[in-house]
Structure 1
Amino acid sequence: MAAKLTARKVATAKPGRHGDGAGLWLAVASTGAKKWVFRFSFGGKVTEMGLGSAEVVGLAQARERATEARQMVAAGKNPIVEKRQAKEKHAARSTFGDVADDLLAAKASEWRNEKHKAQWKMTLEVYAAPLRPKPVDEIDTEAVLSVLRPIWLEKPETASRLRGRIETVLDAARAKGHIPRNEANPARWRGHLDKLLPKRPKLSRGHHAAMDYADVPAFIVQLRERTATAALALEFTILTAVRAGEMRGAQWDEFDLEKKLWTIPANRMKAAREHRVPLSDRAAAIVAAMAEAKTGDFVFPGATGEKPLSVMALDMLLRRMGQAVTTHGFRSSFRDWAGNETHFAREVAEAALSHVIGDKAEQAYRRSDALEKRRALMDAWARHCEAVDASNVIPMKLTGD
């Protein structure tokens, strides 16, 4: 009986067939290509089954595959048929990506805004990318850990959201019958992953870098030297103390310039409640200036005019101006100014920032949004921002820089 193959013999094998015993052969083509073949008898016929390229499948693995096939033959099963059926069954199973995409589509109407929807989509497509091609019923604890570990300590908040969203996708898969109902969710935190992952740093968004409110007037002067849409958008955001996303999504039908009022619908607000924003003369003038260059539905459009201004446009502008602050930080500037330099009630300042104040009972009795008091507050803030340069001249020719 010929000696069995060795790794050395496999590497140096010449064209032809080289036996390892028990039906396993190494077939070497004249081109040098090598593949494993299992030769067996089934139903009175001698048949061959490919076990993979020798460039990919090593000798030990080829022997394991041959042993599995041999056991099927002994059990009266054709390993070729079994392999094909297993492949077809695997192809028909829903993947994590399939379930995740279906979940996003089903929940589309529930997202607070497009940004929230985009965050879910990005998390499940980027951070959970290694899970997407896997059959959803094969996602186990180790698979979940493989995508969490790389960012667990470096990006704790992102990792926490990723874990929760993976858990939601797997729960949806269970509800659809893709996963047995008696199996525990491998992305569950309490009593499971909390025992396997190190303690995370306390989740905190921290404070957005803000400009001292005393420096805002001088900054406004510098800002008005620029003619880009981003410059007007940033000044408008500062004057109204809104979130950047609320400004970016602003559309013409939300404004009543005669009343100097901007009404942001609930579906675009973080608190999911309509927010009325009184406009100072300068803020209203900026909207009027944008109207003269109107290109579409958005008051502050992007380069093509069909979509809103880029989410990075304001931050990039601040960087070019040498400012180590964030757009969101100007809300803090406004709040510090209101608290330190004015006698307006705390509730009025908080309402201007669209913050929810008090418990549910208090909110139920507070029907008014104190619009006129907030108008006086925002006019005072605009005067503060005009302290250095009282000019209301707005560049009418907008550029992309």
Structure 2
Amino acid sequence: MKRPRTLTAAFVRTINRPGVYGDGRGGRGLSLRVHRTKAGRISKTWRQRLRIEGRLTSVGLGPYPEITLAEARRKALDNSRAVRHGGDPRGHGVPTFAEAVERTIELHRDGWKAGGTVAEEWAATFRVHAVPLLDKPVDRITSADVLACLAPIWASKPAAARRAKRRFSAVFRWCVGKNLRPDDPVDRAVAALPRVNGYAPTHYRALPHREVAAAIRAIRGVRYIHPSAMPCVEMIALTAVRAGEARGARWSEIDVEAGVWTIPASRMKAGRELYVPLSTGALGVLERALALAPDSSLVFPSRTGAVLPRNAPGRVLRRAGVAATVHGFRSSARSWMAETGVPAEVAEACLAHVPRSLVVRAYQRSDLLERRAEVMQAWSEYVTHQQGAARSRFDPETGLGGRFGGISGNLRAAGSRQIDDLGSPKGRGRAENGGATEAAAVADE
């Protein structure tokens, strides 16, 4: 179809070729934007170019056919008159970047793990790397503004820069969806940045498994403002759980008699409940933790009774002179399992890794609790007593005879006061129903 000098109702209705079609001279900057969606559907929207306070600005007028050509022209005329009299047709509804950040975080919050720290991490990204943008209306932020925020960290802190890029872009996409600005300026900003060669994801520093025993001895000698932080780190080393899972542990999740720690799905990265077998070494750590805070519902509380700060385990390692990260203990345990012949599916289950293959998932209906208990008991003996050092291969026939014989009566007595009997239907129901409450404790991190 031949393009008319000014838009007509027939042209607007039938044009299906992507592009921008202006209303000609005297059209007050009105245009019809036609584009094809990812689903292959043709979408048409009205926009108007206006000069407001000396800056060219694109204002959304709504989609076609909801807004007809006549209605779009009427809106364009009203907007032009408002600008001519010093007004702003956008009204006071254009938020600052800081306000857009808050709304974007709220939009995604329900999809993030309950009790997690994702929202806090997003907020920290903008608080640290987007200071010049926070007070600006979102429609006045240019690619040069974004470039000024990303350039200082692009090469020196590539992981942080890429996180910032993704999060900046999420906020601007929200703005585009709300017709607050016409585009996402992040890609144009990145086009002006150099390529960082050799970038690779950061790997957690891990100790060789032969050095874990010495690290645990050093950790026990640390003096720190949060006394429960040391047994918390030792628990992480012995059970290979993630740091957040250990810091948020509650006595209601611990079944001493069965030797099982039940972490609710709300506190797990994979969103699935996990049963962690407790070795004799781990049970000993629990006994020491109970002595430090006998009246707390948290296993490893801070000195104020709240969940341990997120950085507390890492500070314990630094004070102990351990050149590794807390998360690295998981790698140490995994490498020991590989060297001692632990089957891969059992080793992955010990680390609560979700199998990627649907076929593998189908054949792993069980969480391999008994086999994991054997592996983690052998790991505990290896890193606490070095008894496992004499074995060249993991021996599944070793068994767990006498595993709970040395448990102190103090820890058993705590079962009647603080530790729910998760082995019973009544106790298990309490744990399941209280998952959301337990997860909320970690939100203080």
TM over 0.5: yes
Q: CA separation of 1:163/1:365 partners in 2, compared to 1, >3 Å: closer, same or farther?
A: same
Number of the residue aligned with 1:111? 112
- 1:244-284: CA deviation from partner (whole Å, max 9, x where unpaired): 12111212222222211112222322222222211112212
Number of the residue aligned with 2:208? 212
Aligned counterparts, 1:57-72, within 5 A:
none
Q: CA deviation at 1:194?
A: 4.9
State the distance in 1 between where 2:192 and 2:218 align. 52
State the distance in 1 between where 2:91 and 2:333 align. 58
> What is the letter of the counterpart of residue 373 of structure 1?
R
Q: CA deviation at 1:237?
A: 0.8
Number of the residue aligned with 1:270? 269
Number of the residue aligned with 1:298? 298
- 1:277-322: CA deviation from partner (whole Å, max 9, x where unpaired): 11112212322443342454422111211x2112222222222222
Q: CA deviation at 1:324?
A: 1.7
Q: Which moved more, 1:128-137 or 1:218-227?
A: 218-227
Q: CA separation of 1:269/1:203 partners in 2, compared to 1, >3 Å: closer, same or farther?
A: farther
Aligned counterparts, 1:13-92, within 5 A:
82=86
Q: CA deviation at 1:101?
A: 0.6
SS of residue paired to 1:277: strand
Contact 1:217 1:389 in 2 (8 A): no
> What is the letter of the counterpart of residue 97 of structure 1?
A
User: For structure 1, which runs of at least 5 residues remain unmatched after alignment?
Assistant: 1-64, 66-76, 397-401
Of 355, 375, 386, the residue aligned with 1:357 is 355
> What is the letter of the counterpart of residue 347 of structure 2?
A
SS of residue paired to 1:349: helix
State the distance in 2 between where 1:154 and 1:196 align. 16
Aligned residues between the structures:
308
Q: CA separation of 1:381/1:103 partners in 2, compared to 1, >3 Å: closer, same or farther?
A: same
Aligned counterparts, 1:326-341, within 5 A:
326-340=325-339
Q: CA separation of 1:255/1:174 partners in 2, compared to 1, >3 Å: closer, same or farther?
A: same
Number of the residue aligned with 2:385? 387
SS of residue paired to 2:186: coil
Q: Using structure 2 for the length normalisation, give the TM-score.
A: 0.63
Number of the residue aligned with 1:120? 122
CA RMSD of aligned residues (A): 3.0
> What is the letter of the counterpart of residue 223 of structure 1?
I
- 1:8-67: CA deviation from partner (whole Å, max 9, x where unpaired): xxxxxxxxxxxxxxxxxxxxxxxxxxxxxxxxxxxxxxxxxxxxxxxxxxxxxxxxx9xx
State the distance in 2 between where 1:103 and 1:297 align. 34
- 1:357-391: CA deviation from partner (whole Å, max 9, x where unpaired): 3423322332111111000000000110222599x
SS of residue paired to 1:177: coil
Q: CA separation of 1:257/1:303 partners in 2, compared to 1, >3 Å: closer, same or farther?
A: same
Q: CA deviation at 1:393?
A: 9.9
Aligned counterparts, 1:219-368, within 5 A:
219-226=215-222, 228-292=227-291, 293-305=293-305, 307-340=306-339, 342-368=340-366
SS of residue paired to 1:302: coil
Contact 1:221 1:388 in 2 (8 A): no
State the distance in 1 between where 2:253 and 2:407 align. 24
Contact 2:215 2:320 in 1 (8 A): no
State the distance in 2 between where 1:351 and 1:270 align. 14
Task: Return the index of the structure with the highest Cα Rg.
Answer: 1
User: For structure 2, which runs of at least 5 residues remain unmatched after alignment?
Assistant: 1-52, 54-80, 389-405, 411-445
Higher relative contact order (Cα pairs below 8 Å, separated by 6+ residues):
2
Q: CA separation of 1:206/1:176 partners in 2, compared to 1, >3 Å: closer, same or farther?
A: closer
SS of residue paired to 1:350: helix
Contact 1:156 1:201 in 2 (8 A): no
> What is the letter of the counterpart of residue 109 of structure 1?
D
State the distance in 2 between where 1:209 and 1:349 align. 20
Q: CA separation of 1:184/1:338 partners in 2, compared to 1, >3 Å: closer, same or farther?
A: same
Q: CA separation of 1:251/1:370 partners in 2, compared to 1, >3 Å: closer, same or farther?
A: same
Contact 1:233 1:300 in 2 (8 A): yes
State the distance in 2 between where 1:387 and 1:282 align. 9
Q: CA separation of 1:294/1:174 partners in 2, compared to 1, >3 Å: closer, same or farther?
A: farther
Q: CA deviation at 1:202?
A: 4.4
Number of the residue aligned with 2:101? 100
Contact 2:259 2:278 in 1 (8 A): yes
> What is the letter of the counterpart of residue 251 of structure 1?
R
